[in-house]
A and B are shown apart, each in its own frame.
Chain A
Amino acid sequence: MKYSPLGFGLGLRKEHYHDILDSPSDKQPDIDWFEILTENYLVEGGKPLYFLDQICERYPVVMHGVSMSIGSTDPIDTNYLSQVKQLAGRTNAHWISDHLCFTGLDGVNAHDLLPLPYTEETIKFVANKIKQTQDFLGRRILIENVSSYITYKQSGMTEWEFVTAISEESDSLMLLDINNIFVSAFNHGFDPIEYLDGVPAHRVQQHHLAGHTQYDDYIIDTHDNNVVDGVWNLYAEAVKRFDDVSTMIERDDNIPELSEIMKELQMARDIYAVTKDKSSQVTNQITSKSNDSV
């Protein structure tokens, strides 16, 4: 049902090209896969594609875009999707993802991930657009939950009910961004655990982990900082609930040395190992107890 998991990855950033590619092939950085920002490579030539081709020779790659505008009432941009499809061929992308939002209207692009009203009408509309997009690309796509700062009065359900319904109706997969759940839970005052409990585990393909900026009354999803403890704790809760999920650190600004981000990736691996270990012990205890009673 899901794509095969890839392990623990990083978002590919140009600041790290040399660190990644200059190491001898037997001492490559211990990163299982890279997520590339689709739009950065929808260019004709030059450095971006030169480095990308070399990364693709060494690592599995997935594509993460910001321009599908799947929630917009504008028609599907087939020119954009053709370029995405072509890049997916070039990179051998294991999967393609974008966001549950709209980024523009009437041909104007706001270059932001703008939230949608959570209504039955939106679910039908967006699910239909996802289906058309999947048909065009010839594969299932992953849709990511976004951080948001507003709730529309029209919304008649929780965010997790909304994302679940869209993913079921369109038969798409989920890129569950743990930081975005944390941010939106704070901004809108919901329980992030309820969110994790509310989404279909068999559709969760990938996690993002990222940093944010905390203000007194709200959090902005800035991706310019380390992952905070609250997000690590929420990640551990996600590990308990979902299997075969590929996890990565998403850093977009204030980019540190590769070695710094690798420490965060190690943190994710450690949390995963410890949490899975504990939960398997619990499962073992439960099974042995039930065996005793038989």
Chain B
Amino acid sequence: MMAFLLSKDKGIESDVVNTKTINAKQRLSIYGDGYGYRLHDALSENYPAVHTLLGDHDFFKIAYEYIDRFPSQHFSLRFLGSKLEEFLNENYSNEPYYAEMARFEWALRKAFDATNQDPLEVKALQEIPIENWGDLQFTFHQSVSRMDLHWNTPQLWAAIDAESDPIPPEKLEYPHAWLTWRHGLINHYRSLDVDEGWALDSAMSGGSFENLCEGICEWIDEEHAPARIAGFLGNWINEGLLVNLKYD
């Protein structure tokens, strides 16, 4: 039965009873059709903008190819689309904005049901002894994803989400830094200045306040570095990006 669903193996036909009105082949096709539709719909639910960008016809086609290539390995359909970006990169290398949209939507999907964690409050920063600021390290909310995008993907996504007039994919002069996360129950995304993008990457991979202040000097004067980083921290806290600080 599984061989029939996954690779259209007709061996099972001889195990199934034919009746006057409906034969074994027709009966099995109810399962075969249902399998394709169900997985197509699940993929579409997790990637509505990829679906819209590709159009029904092409999305239908890639959904079936994708399912062939990456059959579901998890009990939940929630994870069916985990390789779609990779798949689109391989199969639509001339239209890389499809894969980039898949990446963006998968990050939003991750944010939607990531672990609940209480965001840090501003007073946590105020309580840090001045001599410990240099060692300060940061833990981010599990819903946070950081990405550099080469296309106007978030704008495309927003236009599709709002069902407003479609806009064309546009390649950017240089990649832009973006961030997706969930604050409370609401998903958010925003762009980052190049120095904030760098600071966030550094902080997310264990960089200390001192490391951040040093690194940011690539963009600003040394004397303004601590204030710039402290400003980022204030924003990150207000936006619910941070869940913990440590300084030992």
Contacts and interface: CB of A to CB of B under 8 A. Distances in A.
Interface of A: 39, 42-50, 67, 77, 80, 104-112, 114, 149-154, 189, 217-218, 220
Given A46-B111, A111-B38, A220-B30, 12 more contacts: A42-B75, A44-B115, A45-B117, A48-B113, A104-B2, A111-B39, A114-B31, A150-B24, A152-B15, A152-B17, A217-B21, A218-B21
A119 to B, nearest CB: 12
A15 to B, nearest CB: 14
Contacts of B38: 111-112
Interface of B: 1-2, 5-6, 14-17, 19, 21-22, 24, 26-28, 30-31, 34-35, 38-39, 42, 71-78, 111-117, 142-143, 182, 185
B73 A109 contact: yes
Contacts of A218: 21-22, 27, 30
A67 B78 CA distance: 13
Contacts, number: 103
Nearest to B142: A44
A67 B116 contact: no
A215 B48 CA distance: 31
Contacts of A104: 2, 72
B113 A111 contact: no
A150 B115 contact: no
B79 to A, nearest CB: 10
Contacts of B116: 44-46, 49-50
Given A39-B76, A109-B74, A150-B27, A44 B35 contact: no
A149 B27 contact: yes
Given A149-B30, A217-B22, A114 B1 contact: yes
A44 B75 contact: no
A77 B78 contact: no
A46 B28 CA distance: 39
